[in-house]
Homo-oligomer: A and B are copies of this chain.
Amino acid sequence: MLPGAVKELFNVLTPGDAFARLAPYLHGPRATERVRTEDALGRVLAEDLTSPGSLPTFRRSTMDGFAVRAADTFGASEGLPAYLTVIDEVLMGRPAERDPRLGEAVRIATGGMLPDGADAVVMVEHTQDVDDSTIEVLRPVAPGEHVIQVGEDVNSGDHLLPAGHVLRPQDVGGLLALGIVDVTVAMRLRVGIISGGDEIVAPDAEPGPGQIRDVNSYTIAALVERAGHTPIRLGIVPDVYESLERVARDSLDQVDVLILSAGSSVSTRDMTAQVIASLGEPGVLVHGVSLKPGKPTILAMIGEKPVFGLPGNPVSCMVTFDLFVAPTLHKLAGRPAIDHRQSLAARLTRNVASAPGREDYFQVRVEQRDDGLWAEPIFGKSNLIYTLVKADGMVRIDLDTSGLTEGQWVQVILF
């Protein structure tokens, strides 16, 4: 037994080391396209954007009130108000027609354009009407008070957003505010998915004895879609070398990334690795990862295209997609891998044991309790799709850790 055990020890990589073998081949974005900014929500920006102008382009009032020369209000109080003559009103969307001189004020609404002569706005609540054209100012304002200066939001030439940024609603609004009506974004990647296995039938078929419905290719397709890319399901292929090899080879031309959802037996995994190796260079980079669930994962590059052999068990499949495929898609789209939105901190409801020397992942359900978020482990064999359905996310146990304890804070990777 010893030679085999030693061989395994040296050949099986940590998930981090495994991805590090693939990462040097991944550069992005692979291809870009120009889209309308208003249609670009969720797309990955493929250019560094700087501001073509200033915002606002004119001094704006932030209050309803009167545009004044601040000096006219110095020392004003309810007991000793400043008297100002209202000479005009600023209409929204229009420049002021008359500039206030000493002792004069111009009525202005929130968002209105400050007349040239004014340098501050007195809130209407701090004034009283004396007659049709005279107001009392009851409090002083400082120069610049209740005014947004030209370029205070953003200045011409300012850095707006970096390439790789995933566009959010406020980014769409911010770019349109500056008249940036088109942006260059990474093309969505075409991700081919082949479902392998003699036992697999389509979801609308009635499985016979020993048969199961295809789960993984639809789960993977949805994961690809959620990552912002385009899944292409390439059908169910029997566990015959020539069939798998032909479908894989034909598909590779049509896609940017190819995923083979392989069976779980050693023989089908080995066959999948051989098929992938036959497709071209550099070929299989990783075959087997020190990871539970997900050990029999294959990472490969065929020319410029990443090819994955993911384990057939649904839980292994989803864990390895998150660990290897998702960061690959991010890199190929030119997007940074870290996304705060994908994880949260919670406390464990119970102890969880783990074998050291292997990264373990287990599923949890997240519960909001009075004292914060708690993560309740859901245990189940990695063949069980409903452990995933019951779970909100997964927790990692590091390679060098023998377990986690009840009450310990853990990071839940949401899925």
Contact = CB atoms under 8 A, between A and B. Distances in A.
B169 A109 contact: no
B91 A174 contact: no
A369 interface: no
A259 to B, nearest CB: 13
B226 A41 contact: yes
B197 A111 contact: yes
Contacts of A366: 340
A260 to B, nearest CB: 16
Interface string A210-221: 111111101111
Q: Which interface residue of A199, A203, A223 has the most chain B CB atoms within 10 A?
A: A203
A177 B215 CA distance: 5
Nearest to A1: B125
A392 interface: yes
Nearest to A172: B222
Contact of A199 (B92, B211, B222): B92
B55 A386 contact: yes
B198 A415 contact: no
A92 B170 CA distance: 52
Contacts of A265: 64, 92, 109-112
Contacts of A174: 215, 385-386, 388-389
A270 to B, nearest CB: 11
A383 interface: yes
Nearest to A372: B345
Interface in A330-377: 338, 340-341, 343-345, 366, 368, 372-373
Interface in A116-163: 124, 148, 152-154, 160-161
Contacts of A181: 203-204
A223 B168 CA distance: 8
A368 B338 contact: yes
B389 A171 contact: yes
A266 interface: yes
A414 interface: yes
Contacts of A38: 203, 218, 221-222
Contacts of A109: 263-268
A176 interface: yes
A88 to B, nearest CB: 13
A384 interface: yes
Q: Which 7 A-B pairs have the closest CB atoms?
A: A173-B219, A169-B222, A109-B265, A93-B199, A113-B210, A170-B388, A176-B203
